[in-house]
Structure 1
Amino acid sequence: MFTPKYPPQDTAPARTISAPTILAPAVSAPNVYSPTPYVPAPAPVPNRPAVQLTAGSTLALAAGGGALVLVVGTVLVSMLLAVAITAASVAVCAVTVRSILTSDRR
């Protein structure tokens, strides 16, 4: 019941793929266009690395990363504080409405 059911194996013969045959023109006429393959020149490889880090740039990168962490942390903490203040004010409103309703019944 829990064993998988596989479809039957394919019994078709395997196809062999051969390289395409390039035929040469039978007669070379003077006005016939014969394209030549375009091979682009290799791109020059630079001797230096793409990014060069000096002591000053490393220090600037570390300071920028630290500033980014502080800004993101400040934003997240302020959002959490906004949610907490909203929840507290909703709780105060709920207690006030409840006390009004209970005092109204007496």
Structure 2
Amino acid sequence: MLKPKYPPQDTAPPLITPAPAAYSPAPYNPAPAPVPSAPASNRPTVQLTPGSLLTLAAGGGALVLVVGAVLVSMLLAVAITAASVAVCAVTVRSILKSDRR
């Protein structure tokens, strides 16, 4: 019942392999000459002014505060859930214990 049933060997179709194609080399086409690139600029791509540094620091501080608040609220939710489950367990245990008497 649990053994797989395979078809007899003589009912399988014969394997036909295609004949290899004749070799025909492609004509040689040289690659086009590379286009010269523009000279690199010496000035930095981002120029930080005192105002932009202040904005960057304030944005980073706000991001840290938001992420911290989210993580603390998630931790608080887990702690409240654990406490309520513990109270429910003690209540059910007390009910079952008083039922036996």
TM-score category by the smaller chain? Answer: 0.5 to 0.7
What fraction of aligned residue pairs are identical, expressed as a percent? 79
Deviations 1:54-88 (A, max 9, x none): 00000000000000000000000000000000000
Q: Does 1:92 align with 2:69?
A: no
Aligned mate of 1:67, from 42, 58, 62: 62
Equivalent AA in structure 2 for residue 72 of structure 1 = V
Give the whole-Å Cα distance in 1 for the aligned partners of 2:53 and 2:32. Answer: 48
Deviations 1:79-105 (A, max 9, x none): 000000000000000000000001111
Equivalent AA in structure 2 for residue 73 of structure 1 = G
Q: Which runs of 5+ in 1 are unaligned?
A: 1-33
Give the whole-Å Cα distance in 2 for the aligned partners of 1:72 and 1:90. Answer: 27
Secondary structure in structure 2 of the residue aligned to 1:74: helix
Distance 1:89 1:38, change over 3 A: same
Q: Displacement, 1:46? A: 1.7
Using structure 1 for the length normalisation, give the TM-score: 0.64
Give the whole-Å Cα distance in 2 for the aligned partners of 1:86 and 1:36. Answer: 68
Equivalent AA in structure 2 for residue 82 of structure 1 = A
Secondary structure in structure 2 of the residue aligned to 1:57: helix
Aligned residues: 73
Q: 2:4 is matched with which residue?
A: none
Mapping of 1:7-46 within 5 angstroms?
Answer: 37-46=32-41
Q: What root-mean-square deviation, in Å, do the aligned CA atoms of Structure 1 and Structure 2 show?
A: 1.7
Q: 4+ residue stretches of structure 1 with deviation over 2 A?
A: 34-37
Choose 62-71 or 43-52, whichever is displaced more.
Answer: 43-52
Using structure 2 for the length normalisation, give the TM-score: 0.67
